[in-house]
Amino acid sequence: MAEKIQKTDAEWRAQLTPEQYQVARLKGTERAFTGAYWDTKDVGVYRCICCNEELFRSDEKFDSGCGWPSFTAPASPEVVGEHADDSFFMRRTEVVCNRCGAHLGHVFNDGPAPTGLRYCINSASISLEPKQGENP
Q: What is the DSSP letter of 90?
A: S
pLDDT of residue 136: 55
Residue 78 φ then ψ, to 5°: -80, -10
For the whole model, what pTM was predicted?
Answer: 0.91
What angle is formed at CA 105 by the lines to CA 55 and CA 39, rounded to 5 degrees? Answer: 75
CA-to-CA dists, residue 27 to 1, 19, 58, 92, angstroms: 22, 11, 24, 13
Count of residues in the chain: 136
d(CA 22, CA 124): 9
pLDDT of residue 3: 87
pLDDT in tens, 104-125: 999 999 999 999 999 999 999 9
Average pLDDT, 10 consecutive residues per value, the chain (136 residues): 87 97 96 95 97 97 94 96 80 93 96 95 97 65
Q: Where are the domains of the chain?
A: 32-130
Q: How would you classify the pairing of strands 92-97 and 103-108? A: antiparallel
What's the CATH number for 32-130?
Answer: 2.170.150.20
Residue 123 φ then ψ, to 5°: -60, -35
Active site residues: 120
How many alpha carbons fall within 13 Å on the CB side of residue 119?
A: 26
